[in-house]
Amino acid sequence: MTEPVFAPWDDPNEKPLIEFKNVTKRFGDFTAIDDLTLDIYEREFFALLGPSGCGKTTMMRMLAGFETITEGTILLSGKNIARVPPNRRAVNMMFQSYALFPHLTVWDNIAFGLKREKLPKDQIEARVQEMLKLTRLEKFSKRKPHQISGGQRQRVALARSLAKAPKLLLLDEPLGALDKKLRQDTQFELMDIQEKTGTTFVIVTHDQEEAMTVASRVAVMDEGRLIQVATPAGIYEMPNTVYVADFIGDVNIIEGHGTKTGDGYDVTFAEGQPALHAKTDAQLGEAARCYLAIRPEKVTISAERPDGAVNVVQGTIHDIAYLGNLSTYHVELPTGQILKAQAANTRRLSRRSFTWEDKVWLSWTDTAAVVLER
Amino acid sequence: MRRFSWFNATSLTLGFAFLYIPMIILILYSFNASKLVTVWAGFSTRWYGELLQNEAFLNAAWVTLKVAVASSTIATVLGTMAAYVMVRAGRFSGRTLFSGMIYAPLVMPEVITGLSLLLLFIGIGLDRGIVTIILAHTTFSMCYVSVVVSSRLVSFDRSLEEAALDLGCSPFEAFRLVTLPIIAPAVISGWLLAFTLSLDDLVIASFTSGPSATTLPIKIFSAVRLGVSPEINALSTIMIAIVTVAVITASFVSKRASVRQQAEEKAAVRATG
Ligand SMILES: Nc1ncnc2c1ncn2[C@@H]1O[C@H](COP(=O)(O)OP(=O)(O)OP(=O)(O)O)[C@@H](O)[C@H]1O
Ligand SMILES: [Mg+2]
The confidence band for A107, taking pLDDT boundaries of 50, 70 and 90, is: very high
The pLDDT tens digits for A203-237 are 998 888 888 888 999 999 999 999 999 999 999 99
pLDDT greater than 80 at residue A263: yes
Closest listed residue to residue A18, CA positions, set A202, A214, A232? A202
**Buried/exposed code over A243-260 (b: 16+ C-beta within 10 A; e: otherwise):** bbbebbeebbebebebee
Average pLDDT over residues A67-86: 92
The complex's ipTM works out to: 0.81
Paired strand residues for A162:
none
Average pLDDT over residues A113-133: 92
Residue A171's alpha-carbon distances to A8, A96, A157, A202, B247, in angstroms, are 21, 8, 10, 6, 47
Task: Identify the pLDDT of residue A5.
Answer: 76
Percent of chain A whose predicted confidence (pLDDT) is above 90: 48
Interface contact flag, B181 A103, Cβ < 8 Å: yes
The pLDDT tens digits for A172-196 are 988 887 888 888 888 888 888 888 7
The confidence band for B273, taking pLDDT boundaries of 50, 70 and 90, is: very low
Report which ligand 1 atom has the smallest distance to the Cα of A96: 27
Backbone angles phi, psi at B78, to 5 degrees: -65, -45
Interface contact flag, A143 B268, Cβ < 8 Å: yes
> 3-state SS of B82-119?
HHHHHHHCCCCCCHHHHHHHHHHHHHCCHHHHHHHHHH
Closest listed residue to residue B187, CA positions, set B77, B68, B70, B71? B77
Closest Cα in chain B, distance from residue A292 (Å): 45
CATH number for the domain formed by residue range(s) B60-243:
1.10.3720.10
Percent of chain A whose predicted confidence (pLDDT) is above 70: 97
pLDDT greater than 60 at residue B70: yes
Closest Cα in chain B, distance from residue A188 (Å): 25
Q: Choose between A275 and B160: higher pLDDT.
A: B160
Domain ranges of chain B: 9-44, 60-243
Ligand 1 contact via A52 beta carbon (within 6 Å): yes
Least confident of A44-53, A120-129, A345-354: A345-354
The pLDDT tens digits for A139-163 are 999 999 999 988 889 889 999 998 9
**Closest ligand to Cα A224:** 1
Three-state secondary structure call for residue A210: helix
The C-alpha angle A340, A244, A202, rounded to 5 degrees, equals 130
CB-based contacts of B20, cutoff 8 Å, min separation 6: none
Residue A47 CA, chain-centre distance (Å), reads 5
Task: Identify the pLDDT of residue A1.
Answer: 46
Looking at this protein, which amino acid is placed at residue A203? I
Task: Identify the pLDDT of residue B44.
Answer: 85
The secondary structure element, H or E, covering residue A302 is strand A300-302
What is the distance in A from the centroid of ligand 2 to the CA of B143? 38
Measured between beta carbons, which residues in chain A are less than 8 angstroms from residue B183?
none
What is the distance in A from the centroid of ligand 2 to the CA of A248? 18
User: Nearest residue CA, atom 14 of ligand 1?
Assistant: A55
Percent of chain B whose predicted confidence (pLDDT) is above 90: 28
Interface contact flag, B272 A91, Cβ < 8 Å: no
The pLDDT tens digits for A316-349 are 999 988 888 888 999 999 888 899 999 888 876 6
The mean pLDDT value of chain A amounts to 88
- Any CB–CB contact under 8 A between A103 and chain B? yes
The mean pLDDT value of chain B amounts to 85
Contact call for residues B138 and B73 (beta carbons, < 8 A): no
Average pLDDT over residues A235-248: 90
- DSSP calls for A108-172: HHHHHHHHHTT--HHHHHHHHHHHHHHTT-GGGTTS-GGGS-HHHHHHHHHHHHHHT--SEEEEE
The pLDDT tens digits for B9-45 are 899 899 988 888 988 888 888 888 887 777 788 888 8
